[in-house]
Amino acid sequence: MAHVGGYRPIEDIDDPYVQEIGKFVVEEHNKQAGQGLVFVRVVSGEQQVVSGTNYKLVVAAEDAGATNKYEAVVYDKPWENFRELTSFALVPEQVVKQVGGYRPIPNIKDPHVQEIAEFAVAEYNKQVGKALVFISVVSGEQQVVAGTNYKLVIEAEDCGVIKTYETVVYDKSWEKVRELTSFNPMPERIVKQRSFEMRVGGYQPIRNVKDPHVQKIGKFAVEEHNKQAGKALVFVRVVSGEQQVVVGTNYKLVIEAKDADVTKTYEAVVYDKSWEKVRDLTSFEPLPEQQTDRPVKRGWYRFICNCGKI
């Protein structure tokens, strides 16, 4: 089994397919070890694309009424109806495995995220005797620990005036634990700055595609695609491109790369946040031959918010 790339955090841990894998983990372990664990949920996880997918999951399961956490690895190859549990181990209580730093929440309108925000306002009101009224989540990030930290920017009404607050909530839903760890008003200057940052503008043409940084982004796109797809494309050059400033920069590039000595053209989108050493390949597609001479399509955007830092 050739490893194509390293493990990457699973962005949507509540995805039904991921939860199905978690349930399989517990059931398969029970068969192998003669135990009677009861699956609760997948807490966190990473995945690695090989000739199939390795899922490294932290799973919560009940053992004689006590909820414990287990780390498991499952190899999954759905097109062959093949799924195998390759490891299963109890996570000691003192081990808190942090999967990674804060990452943008893809969908801040998710009901669970809204529920977390409403909790933050209600809990703050209880603690300090206020009567804020929750309005909306402006932006947010999440961090997988032994549970999840939610760092949210929230709008709430205070005596008829809409104000903005930054809050952090620790959530461990499978144990019914939820704690407000911070709740602070954001200075007006910061709010204005955030509002400016969060305005997602359209793509603008890159004036100099020969710029070393742009070429480096193009080379990264090819190398990352090779890792993810098990290919061996050889980067040639960036032909054209556009960039979009969000909280970081989206680069939409038309790239030439050799595939078995044949030069082909691809369109790639890379999200780059160099000051935090974040660079993600978000799409990579071959361009039909008749489209290679056309300008890059406009109008696409990826809304990325990373408003946890002031």
Q: Identify the structural domains of the chain with CATH numbers, from first to last.
A: 8-90 (3.10.450.10), 103-185 (3.10.450.10), 204-286 (3.10.450.10)
Question: What's the token pair of residue 262?
Answer: 């044949």
Torsion angles phi and psi, residue 122, rounded to 5: -60, -40
Segment (H or E) for 170: strand 161-172
Spatial separation of the C-alpha atoms in residues 158 and 171, rounded to whole Å: 26
- Pairing, β 262-273 against β 248-259: antiparallel
- Pairing, β 82-90 against β 103-104: unpaired
Spatial separation of the C-alpha atoms in residues 196 and 188, rounded to whole Å: 12
At 164-209, the pLDDT tens digits run: 899 999 988 777 888 998 988 887 544 444 444 444 456 788 888 8
Q: How much is the pLDDT for 205?
A: 85
Q: What angle do CA 38, 75, 269 make, to 5 degrees?
A: 115
Torsion angles phi and psi, residue 247, rounded to 5: -95, 75
Q: Give me the sheet containing 66-77, strands edge to edge.
A: 8-9, 38-50, 52-63, 66-77, 82-90
**What string of pLDDT tens digits covers the 310 residues of the chain?**
334 467 888 888 888 999 999 999 999 999 998 889 999 889 888 998 888 899 999 898 888 777 788 899 999 998 989 999 999 988 765 443 344 577 888 778 888 889 999 999 999 999 888 899 998 888 888 887 777 889 999 989 888 888 889 999 998 877 788 899 898 888 754 444 444 444 445 678 888 888 888 999 999 999 999 999 899 999 999 999 998 876 668 899 999 999 998 999 999 999 887 767 788 998 999 988 754 444 444 344 333 334 343 3
* Length in residues, the chain: 310
Q: How much is the pLDDT for 44?
A: 87
Question: What's the token pair of residue 167?
Answer: 């809050």
pTM above the 0.75 mark? no
DSSP-based three-state secondary structure for 308: coil
Q: Which residues make beta-bridge pairs with 279?
A: 272
Contact present, 12 and 113 (Cβ < 8 Å): no
